[in-house]
């Protein structure tokens, strides 16, 4: 006679991280009884197995089961989980808001319980990730932390503390926020947080805070540590998130080959996933391709992540690379309008590109206002990278000795921060400023150092030109110099018809649509 289904055994499988075993055990329980608790358990196992369809199906079954039994607290718990997982697995912000509102309604008449705290955690996550509102997120996080302490639930208390820290960092209070995160992460990694999901999320929030505040080395260290923990415990979703964060850090530090490998392998692992983390990986790879000068690939990738904030910025920069300042400025102006002024670090990540776009679109007053905002944020937050971006932005609207001084400052600060790509860009601008002030030797030195850095990164005449023949590359350089087809034909001693054919082939090979875009590409990819 077969053994009866054992809910205790199913819970133990889930606790041990034996996800497939837990699915089997809970399935056996559900075959006998449509138990909403079993639906919650199997949903969590499917969450770890990255099966969004089954996870959401069982979360909804748990909600219905609790409602049928008159258990409003259980239904609220299921609705709270659905609020985040609906967003995580691609059902969208409107569905997520609907479930969190439903959970709130159900909890309103219930005495204080742990469910109130987890509801507050998810409300905080939605406030920051969907509404970009760190003030509201901080309020919800503090409620969650207080509830966790009152009901003696360590997982809840530390999750609330950690998200309060992240919210404070995003609002510009970096030191205080990092202190809260450090305490929560110490507890999580020491075993004081029992649930591996919340242990991982707390650590990931610290990594996000380090990245957003441009503490690149610290972000790299924690990415590696959490990835190691995730691999050891078979926490595949957290492994993917950590690899994406690590790749982003490597891209900033100049480890582009490693970043490329991490992102491509992560996308392969997530090929069938509905998780939002896949969109982030696509966006990161798109930005890497843009920096490499592989603009057609960048456009294809960034189009897939078009509504993801960092992808909006990358795509705007891509339009700038192609000489389309108007489109870049329109996109970035709209994006900034959607970001609350209290979300200092998210706005600060957009402002440098917005300054460039405003200047390129001849919106000088707007550029001045954006530079002022970036400098105010940099002074408040006080990190070296933010001061570097502020110096570069200020240099771009200055002239003469003032511009020279700010470009020198930007170069120094980018170098000290390990932001090699940004350092190279600032050195090229410094070289232009030196040339304008009559120092050709100094200009050549800065250009040489910039070219050396870009070559090390993988941005050089071979990138972009690699898909072109030698003759096509020569034609492209002359297009960028402003020559007409007739002038190019005379310069290269070929027929105008041949030039016309070369131009058409160049546009096809590079995925571009106009001579102006080709000229801008040649400049951005350093082919001239």
pLDDT, tens only, 333-357: 999 999 999 999 999 999 999 999 9
pLDDT, tens only, 229-279: 777 776 767 777 778 888 888 898 888 998 999 899 889 888 877 777 889
Mean pLDDT confidence for 493-516: 80
Mean pLDDT confidence for 508-514: 74
Q: Is 324-459 in the same CATH topology as 1-110? A: yes
Reported as a pLDDT band with limits 50, 70 and 90, residue 359 is very high
pLDDT, tens only, 93-103: 999 999 999 99
Write down the residue that tokens 């490499």 correspond to. Answer: 292
Domain regions of the chain by residue span: 1-110, 324-459, 469-524
pLDDT, tens only, 138-188: 999 999 999 999 999 999 999 999 999 999 999 999 999 999 999 999 999
pLDDT value of residue 263: 92
Mean pLDDT confidence for 316-330: 88
Whether the per-residue pLDDT at 54 is higher than 50: the answer is: yes
In percent, how much of the chain has pLDDT > 70? 95
Q: CATH for 1-110?
A: 1.25.40.10
pLDDT value of residue 465: 41
Second CATH level (architecture) for the domain 324-459: Alpha Horseshoe (1.25)
Taking the C-alpha atoms of residue 295 and residue 317, their distance in angstroms, rounded to an integer, is: 11
Are the C-beta atoms of 375 and 394 separated by less than 8 Å? yes
pLDDT value of residue 526: 57
pLDDT, tens only, 271-316: 877 777 889 999 999 999 999 888 888 999 999 998 899 999 999 9
Whether the per-residue pLDDT at 51 is higher than 50: the answer is: yes
In this predicted model, which residue has the larger pLDDT, 45 or 15?
A: 45
Whether the per-residue pLDDT at 1 is higher than 60: the answer is: no
In this predicted model, which residue has the larger pLDDT, 223 or 153?
A: 153
Taking the C-alpha atoms of residue 76 and residue 169, their distance in angstroms, rounded to an integer, is: 30
Please calculate the CA angle 501-503-504 and round it to the nearest 5 degrees. 65
pLDDT, tens only, 25-44: 999 999 999 999 999 999 99
Q: HEC states along 466-489?
A: CCCCHHHHHHHHHHHCCCCHHHHH
Residue 101's CB is within 10 A of a number of other CB atoms, namely: 13
- Class for the domain spanning 469-524: mainly alpha
Q: Which residues contact 431 (CB under 8 A, 6 or more apart)?
A: 442, 443, 444, 445, 446, 447, 450
């Amino acid at each position: 006679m077969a053994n009866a289904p054992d809910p205790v055994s199913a819970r133990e499988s889930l606790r041990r991280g034996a996800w497939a075993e837990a699915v089997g055990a809970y399935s056996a329980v559900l075959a006998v009884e449509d138990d909403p608790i079993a639906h919650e358990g199997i949903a969590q196992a499917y969450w770890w197995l990255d099966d969004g369809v089954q996870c959401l199906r069982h979360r909804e079954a748990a909600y219905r089961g609790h409602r049928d039994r008159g258990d409003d607290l259980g239904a609220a718990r299921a609705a709270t989980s659905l609020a985040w997982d609906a967003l995580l697995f691609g059902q969208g912000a409107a569905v997520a808001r609907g479930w969190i509102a439903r959970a709130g309604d159900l909890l309103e008449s219930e005495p204080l319980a742990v469910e109130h705290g987890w509801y507050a955690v998810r409300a905080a996550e939605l406030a920051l990730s969907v509404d970009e509102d760190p003030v509201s997120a901080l309020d919800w996080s503090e409620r969650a932390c207080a509830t966790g302490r009152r009901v003696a639930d360590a997982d809840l208390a530390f999750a609330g503390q950690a998200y309060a820290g992240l919210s404070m960092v995003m609002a510009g209070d970096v030191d205080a926020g990092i202190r809260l995160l450090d305490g929560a992460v110490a507890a999580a990694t020491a075993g004081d947080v029992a649930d591996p999901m919340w242990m991982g999320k707390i650590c990931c929030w610290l990594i996000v805070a380090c990245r957003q505040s441009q503490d690149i080395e610290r972000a790299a260290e924690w990415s590696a540590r959490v990835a190691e923990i995730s691999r050891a415990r078979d926490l595949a979703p957290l492994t993917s998130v950590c690899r994406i964060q690590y790749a982003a850090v490597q891209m900033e530090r100049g480890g582009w080959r490693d970043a490329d490998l991490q992102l491509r392998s992560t996308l392969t692992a997530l090929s069938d996933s509905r998780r939002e983390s896949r969109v982030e990986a696509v966006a990161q790879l798109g930005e890497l391709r843009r920096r490499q000068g592989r603009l057609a690939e960048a456009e294809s990738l960034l189009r897939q992540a078009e509504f993801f904030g960092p992808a909006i910025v990358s795509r705007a920069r891509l339009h700038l690379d192609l000489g389309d300042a108007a489109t870049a400025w329109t996109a970035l102006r709209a994006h900034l309008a959607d970001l609350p002024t209290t979300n200092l670090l998210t706005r600060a990540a957009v402002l440098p590109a917005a300054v460039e776009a405003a200047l390129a679109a001849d919106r000088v007053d707007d550029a001045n206002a954006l530079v002022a905002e970036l400098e105010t944020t940099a002074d408040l937050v006080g990190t070296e990278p933010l001061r570097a971006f502020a110096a570069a932005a200020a240099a771009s609207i200055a002239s003469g000795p003032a511009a020279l001084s700010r470009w020198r400052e930007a170069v120094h600060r980018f170098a000290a921060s390990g932001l090699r790509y940004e350092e190279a860009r600032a050195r090229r601008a410094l070289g232009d400023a030196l040339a304008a002030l009559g120092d050709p030797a100094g200009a050549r030195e800065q250009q040489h150092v910039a070219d050396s850095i870009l070559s090390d990164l993988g941005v050089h005449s071979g990138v972009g030109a690699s898909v072109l023949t030698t003759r096509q590359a020569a034609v492209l350089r002359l297009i960028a110099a402003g020559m007409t087809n007739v002038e190019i034909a005379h310069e290269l001693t070929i027929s105008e018809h041949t030039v016309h054919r070369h131009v058409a082939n160049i546009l096809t090979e590079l995925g571009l649509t106009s001579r102006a875009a080709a000229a801008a590409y040649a400049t951005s990819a350093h082919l001239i």
